Amino acid sequence: MDSSRRDILLDAVLLELSRTGYAELSVQGVLADTGVSESEFESEFGEKDAALFAAYRRLSERVVDEAMGSCSDDERWPERIRSGLKALLEMLAAEPEMARVLIRSFPGIRPATYQCYVDLLARFVPAMHAGRDYSGVDEELPSSVELLAVGAAETLIFVEIDAGRADRLPGMLPEILFTILVPFIGPERAAEEMQSAATA
């Protein structure tokens, strides 16, 4: 199976998961929709779960690449975070079904799939490390401040997607940015960055 057909199939598997749930997900239906034969599917993946995990890994890579690829080393740290966050929120808003798969449909299948979601969130932690130097008070920050920042943003994003309001996410950029920045630079400086994002 070439990479193009494989990608189409993996996207279709995730969309089917979003629409039907894991128990009702029909591989045969996905194959019929994508024109992939059962023998091709079995040769590539073997069974449904292997395809789902491969599809979620691909989606995770897209999400990380979209966010991280939008950041520039020439920007101040808050600006880098804002750029990456803006790209991420716009992607999630543009693909609400995939956004729901990302945070709910796949992670909710069982503990192993939830761990994939946890692993995805952990990939954003390194982007927070530079905030320690930028803060000027590195030694005063808790050891888990990067996780706290990612977790605060994730909570706001999760609530909107889970409620079917992914389209609102780009407009929430300033407040989500504030939740990320405030543990590092305090409420006053974070509010300034929030206002800058709101008027940009």
Q: How far apart are CA 51 and CA 55, in angstroms?
A: 6
Q: Which pLDDT score, from 0 to 100, does residue 1 have?
A: 79
Containing structural domain, residue 121: 3-199
Per-residue confidence in pLDDT tens, the chain, 200 aa: 789 999 999 999 999 999 999 999 999 999 999 999 999 999 999 999 999 999 999 999 999 999 999 988 889 999 999 999 999 999 999 999 999 999 999 999 999 999 999 999 999 999 999 999 999 998 899 999 999 999 999 999 999 999 999 999 999 999 999 999 999 999 999 999 999 999 98
CB contact at 8 A, 47 and 73: no
Q: How far apart are CA 42 and CA 153, in angstroms?
A: 39
What CATH number should be reported for the domain holding residue 166? 1.10.357.10
Name the domain count of the chain. Answer: 1
Q: How far apart are CA 150 and CA 131, in angstroms?
A: 12
Q: Which pLDDT score, from 0 to 100, does residue 112 have?
A: 98
Q: Which pLDDT score, from 0 to 100, does residue 123 have?
A: 96
Instruction: Specify the amino acid at residue 103.
Output: I
